[in-house]
Amino acid sequence: MKSKKIFATILLVALFTGNLFAQSANEINKKSMDAIEVGNMEMISTINIRDARGNNRVRKITTASKQFGNVTKMIIRFISPADVKGTALLVHDYEKKSDDMWIYMPALRKVRRIVSSEKSKNFMGSEFTNGDMSKPNLDNYNSTILGSVNYGGRNCWKIQSVGKTSAIQAEDGFSKRISYIEKSTYLCHKVEYYDLRGRLHRTQTISDYRRLKNGKYFAYKMVMENNKNGRKSEMIINNFQLGSNLSESAFAPAALNK
């Protein structure tokens, strides 16, 4: 009877711990992505770009994003500085194929279709890249759990994601990234990006997570630091609205020059 009880306890413990370890790095990454809201929202944000000498540049943008079927449509419109004011970017983000992108520049006075391949290009002259602005395709990475760490008082998984091919790595502009994902909430608090030679290139810290009405979270502050040249860019969300009132026609190329 006693041995039966011990056996049951061992089985329970085994099942429990087995469940814990059964969660793969990919599943953690997916849950981490699902924990934050990126599909349906509108926001006004400010990007402060500081170089190593302390010079500061400020960009202000307004963004609307909405999911239509299997495509997330997003408009980014520049509010300041004055020389780029009115410039607008429209992205149709598909899960399984390349994005469709259009740009409207007031000086050209027409909407222009553009090539969308440059994920590694910096976003608005900041340390963020175009790729950082959209959801990564998890199928492009081999992910592993490197272990557990305490980061800022939070118990986090340390997950490494390596681009499956050199082409993917070149397009992303990094060979691997290491994410610090909190175990209790699946919120990601830090990401380290390594260059194509495997050296630490950029470090992103994500903070001021706020819980939304739909149970998901949104980060109101992101800082990206370039470990090579000391530049730092900070994205602050000034105003956030869950969901978007805009109709699908507002996410069409013809709406960009309104």
- By residue count, the chain amounts to 258
CB 33, min distance to another protein, A: 23
Q: What is the CA radius of gyration of the chain?
A: 21
Residue 248 is a binding residue for another protein (CB under 8 A): yes
Q: What x/- string results for residues 5 through 44 when contact with another protein is judged by CB under 8 A? A: -------------------------------------xxx
Residue 140 is a binding residue for another protein (CB under 8 A): no
The correct pick among 6, 108, 149, 200 for binding another protein (CB under 8 A) is 108
C-beta closer to another protein: residue 23 or 229? 229
Residue 15's φ and ψ, nearest 5 degrees, are -65, -45
Count of residues touching another protein (by CB under 8 A): 56
The correct pick among 26, 35, 46, 118 for binding another protein (CB under 8 A) is 118
C-beta closer to another protein: residue 35 or 255? 255
Tell me the torsion sign for CA atoms 255, 256, 257, 258: positive
Say if residues 159 and 181 touch (Cβ distance below 8 Å).
yes
Residue 149's φ and ψ, nearest 5 degrees, are -140, 160
Residue 218 class from Cβ within 10 Å (0-12 exposed, 13-18 middle, 19+ buried)? Answer: middle
Residue 165 is a binding residue for another protein (CB under 8 A): no
Q: Is 178 helix (H, G, I), strand (E, B) or coil?
A: strand
Residue 113 is a binding residue for another protein (CB under 8 A): yes
Cβ-based neighbour number of residue 238 at 10 Å: 11
C-beta closer to another protein: residue 75 or 188? 75
Q: Which residue has the tokens 């429209």?
A: 90
What gap in Å lies between CA 176 and CA 140, rounded to an integer?
11
Residue 63 is a binding residue for another protein (CB under 8 A): yes
The correct pick among 33, 111, 145, 178 for binding another protein (CB under 8 A) is 111
Tokens of 30: 């997916």
C-beta closer to another protein: residue 180 or 251? 251
What gap in Å lies between CA 122 and CA 115, rounded to an integer?
15
Contact residues: another protein, CB under 8 A: 42-44, 49, 55, 57-58, 62-64, 75, 77, 79-83, 85, 92, 98, 100, 102, 107-118, 121-122, 124-126, 231, 239-241, 244-255, 258
